[in-house]
Amino acid sequence: MKKVGNSSCNDGALLRMGLNDNKAGMQGLDKEKINKIIMEATKGSRFYENELKKDQQVNQRIEKMMQLKEKITTQQLLKAQLQVDKLVIELEQSRNLSSTIVHIDMDAFYAAVEMRDNPELKEKPIAVGSMSMLVREILTEYDPNFMPMGLDEAYLNITEHLEKRLNWPEDKRRFFFNTERTTEKGGYSSSPVLFEDNTLLMDDHPEQRDQSVANSVVFGTSAEEVVKEIRFRIEQKTQLTASAGIAPNTMLAKMCSDRNKPNGQCRVAPERQAVLDFLKDLPIRKVPGIGKVTEKMLKALGIVTCSELYQQRALLSLLFSEASWRNFLDISLGLGSTHLEKDGERKSMSTERTFSEINTAEDQYSLCRELCRDLAQELQKEGLKGKTVTLKLKNVNFEVKTRASTVLSSVSTEEEIFAVAKDLLGTEIDSVAPHPLRIRLMGVRVSGFLSEEEKKYQQKSITSFLKSGKEISFLRLHAGKSNPECFTKNSEASPRGSFFDKKRAARQLNSENPPNETVGKQLFHDKKSSAHFVEETKKVTDLQNSNMCKIFTCPVCFEEQSSNNLEELNRHIDECLSGSLVKDTMEIPKNDNSRESTLNFLPQIKSENVDECQNKVDQLAGTDQSACTSDSCTSSSTEKFTQIISDKPHRERQPSNLSDIARNVCMKQCLLPKRISEDNEDLFEKTVHTEETSSSCFFEAKGDSVLVCPVCNSEQKTNSLVSFNKHVDVCLNKGLIQELTEKKDFPKTYNTENSNRVGGLIRGQQCTNPSQGTKRSGLTTSQSVSKKAKSSNSKNTIDMFFK
DNA sequence: GCGGATCAC
DNA sequence: TATGGTGATCCGC
């Protein structure tokens, strides 16, 4: 009785694997083939091992349950019996047999569609679609509120239809065979048997087929007839057969539709005894909601059929949770929903993808962003914003992990979702460091949607304003863990790279691993920086984001400064600025305060400009300032920002209208407008081109409007800060090139140099992970990954073939 | 609220 | 044979 743990299962697995090895060895294949086979076997076993593991977990649950069962006394059981039976009486009293529920189930839907869609049949005019299409076209006539369940199933409540139908004349219940299809297109001559009782019409009067009446069928008024009619019409419409169940509630209807599959129907009469008879020997596994695990657990208790479920009701009430045993009781009594509840509001939305192993943080972050992008798109289609972001990961051993984070303000855009997801991902990457995180699936989910009521209170935020067409990237403060901004970015906005971007990218090539870093970490860094570098040189990025790490990176020497001491940081930066590296190539604009010059070089907004900028943006966005509430999150992160980049004495900050965005990222991040790309030029001009210039305009525009490039020292004949910035960037790039070439071969083109340096690393990467060979372009969407998975599948197929 | 797990389709 | 993607729910913590 107690022998639940199943060791023979494990033996079986080992046997299987051993056999594979034997096979491989005996065929004397060359090394490559053997390796492939081993790979396959390992892959298979990983999955299988995980299945075994899960199975063992279930066994443990069963073990626990059985131990609990052993402790149950007769007394307890009797008491439970009394209580449960009291409930049974109540349930019986509330039993409702007055509804007629129909469950329609398309037979072998996918296979059938595929068959039907094969080239040979392709020319046929067939309306294929989901149940919701048959909604519209057929099912609504029987129940305007019918409930589609996926593509191939639907519930209908035909109670009302039956009443009306009683008075219908025959003509209203007459339906015609679709002869058009068979005659006009010629191909579809052999009409399949539609249902059991149509032989009379089909066989006895073939000569009258073309006459309309003979070419039709009249259905009766009973529930069975209605369902036959529905199935008839579905088949005429789609050429696909359907099975159906008729019963007083949804659960019974569903189980019933399964009984005469395929192309059949079945009814449970609306009588208590009929219901109980139907259930008597029905395996519990047939019950919707009882899956593999529950089946196994109940089987351990000797419960296989629904009547046994009823017999053991007292015991079950002691072993399972209230919700569970109550459900069991409903099942065993044949009780279920007698009306079709309208689909409630969606509770979550997610997207996930399976792929061949991805083990570099770089790829993982960019995949994560891609998922966020896809998800954001879908969310916005439905106008949904959620407060909880969940990251799902499945490692190469098929172990699934979910990590969730709930933020104070709801998220819906790619940036907002990614801001949360990337942290979750970063934590997971860090948690296995120095080993790489080896995953085969990643998913992102958003849940905790705002109710309609809550949506009303959503103030029009800078986010929505910007999202309406003018996307600006923002600076972020985030914890000093793996920094996704170092290698992922919003690839759609592709602005040009600034000096700092490129400088950082270049620096990363040589950087940053202390000698004691492990091999794994080293690998990771190399990859991230190499790939990053490639992208950096091509597009403008949001890399400045990463300047806001708690681990502060000096924008001049690009060394990480872990100190939070502002004085120290600024001193360091000043030293750098006055040092050799920069002073040779550029003139530092001097203000009355050297600190100010430091700030001017940061690709960030000066703290005192934040509100100014923000106000202007808000004004443009028509933001209701009064609706803006002070938010501790906002102000605290803003304070951090202030402390890091400015030595201004801390002042009490007015609650600014950063509110929405800042709340979105909650305490972890602070979002501020960053350097604005050309794409946003007009916005830029409107919002920041003022006498109090933001440092997002790289260098200050002087009052006299004469712009002098601090690099080449020449006057620039432009009033546009954007144009000016372009020029400065170009100048700075020259400096970078010089540095990269170690001041040799200055004329050497940037790209050439670049590709030389990156090439080796990329090759190294490909060596490590061949599947990563083709890089996604920024615009590539899910398909690319799907393709990846597919190609690996086809590889497997080929391997199988060679086996 | 989080994370693992189960289930359906 | 190996094992997808999306959404919901439950349970224990």
Q: Which of the listed residues A270, A303, A320 is the one where a domain comes to its end?
A: A270
Task: Judge whether A507 lies within some domain.
Answer: no
C1'-nearest nucleotide to the CA of A399: B4
Which residue shows structure tokens 């009683």? A166
Pairing verdict, β A153-157 and A216-218: unpaired
Q: What's the total number of domains in chain A?
A: 2
Q: How far is the CA of A12 from the C1' of C3 (A)?
A: 19
- State the pLDDT at residue A76: 96
Dist. CA A332–CA A309, nearest whole Å:
6
Q: A116 and A61, same structural domain?
A: no
Cβ A358 to strand C below 7 Å: no
- State the pLDDT at residue A204: 40
Q: A108 and A57, same structural domain?
A: no
C1'-nearest nucleotide to the CA of A406: B1
Name residues of chain A where pLDDT drops below 50. 1-30, 32, 122-127, 182-209, 461-482, 484-574, 576-713, 717-722, 724-803
Task: Judge whether A235 lies within some domain.
Answer: yes
C1'-nearest nucleotide to the CA of A297: B6
State the DSSP code for A542: -
SS3 readout for A697-722: CCCCCCCCCCEECCCCCCEECCCCHH
Q: Which of the listed residues A270, A303, A327 is the one where a domain comes to its end?
A: A270
- State the pLDDT at residue A455: 73
Task: Judge whether A314 lies within some domain.
Answer: no
Footprint of strand B on the protein (CB under 7 A): A 54, 57-58, 61, 149-153, 254, 287-295, 387-388, 390, 400-406, 448
Domain that holds residue A18: 7-71
Q: How far is the CA of A513 from the C1' of B1 (A)?
A: 37
Q: A255 and A131, same structural domain?
A: yes
Which residue shows structure tokens 């979750």? A424
Cβ A351 to strand C below 7 Å: yes
Task: Judge whether A576 lies within some domain.
Answer: no
C1'-nearest nucleotide to the CA of A346: C7
Q: How far is the CA of A455 from the C1' of C6 (A)?
A: 25
- State the pLDDT at residue A347: 95
Q: Is A298 exposed, middle or buried (0-12, 13-18, 19+ CB in 10 A)?
A: buried
Task: Judge whether A696 lies within some domain.
Answer: no
State the DSSP code for A204: I
Q: A152 and A62, same structural domain?
A: no
C1'-nearest nucleotide to the CA of A298: B6
Q: A56 and A107, same structural domain?
A: no
Q: A177 and A45, same structural domain?
A: no
Task: Judge whether A347 lies within some domain.
Answer: no
Q: How far is the CA of A393 from the C1' of B4 (A)?
A: 13
Those nucleotides of strand C lying less than 7 Å from any protein Cβ are 1-12
Q: Which of the listed residues A71, A86, A109 is the one where a domain comes to its end?
A: A71
- State the pLDDT at residue A716: 54
Q: Are A169 and A180 contacting, i.e. CB atoms less than 8 angstroms apart?
A: no
Instruction: Write out the DSSP string of A55-119.
Output: HHHHHHHHHHHHHHHHT--HHHHHHHHHHHHHHHHHHHHT------EEEEEETTHHHHHHHHTSG
Those nucleotides of strand B lying less than 7 Å from any protein Cβ are 1-9
Cβ A43 to strand C below 7 Å: yes
Task: Judge whether A383 lies within some domain.
Answer: no
C1'-nearest nucleotide to the CA of A448: B1
- State the pLDDT at residue A36: 54
C1'-nearest nucleotide to the CA of A150: B9
- At A553, which amino acid appears? T
Dist. CA A87–CA A85, nearest whole Å:
5
Q: A136 and A266, same structural domain?
A: yes
Task: Judge whether A648 lies within some domain.
Answer: no
Q: A129 and A55, same structural domain?
A: no
Q: How far is the CA of A225 from the C1' of B7 (A)?
A: 33
Q: A263 and A146, same structural domain?
A: yes
Q: A227 and A135, same structural domain?
A: yes
Q: A110 and A257, same structural domain?
A: yes
Q: A247 and A146, same structural domain?
A: yes
Cβ A441 to strand C below 7 Å: yes
What CATH number did the domain enclosing A228 receive? Answer: 3.30.70.270
Cβ A520 to strand C below 7 Å: no
- Other Cβ atoms less than 10 A from the Cβ of A133: the count is 16
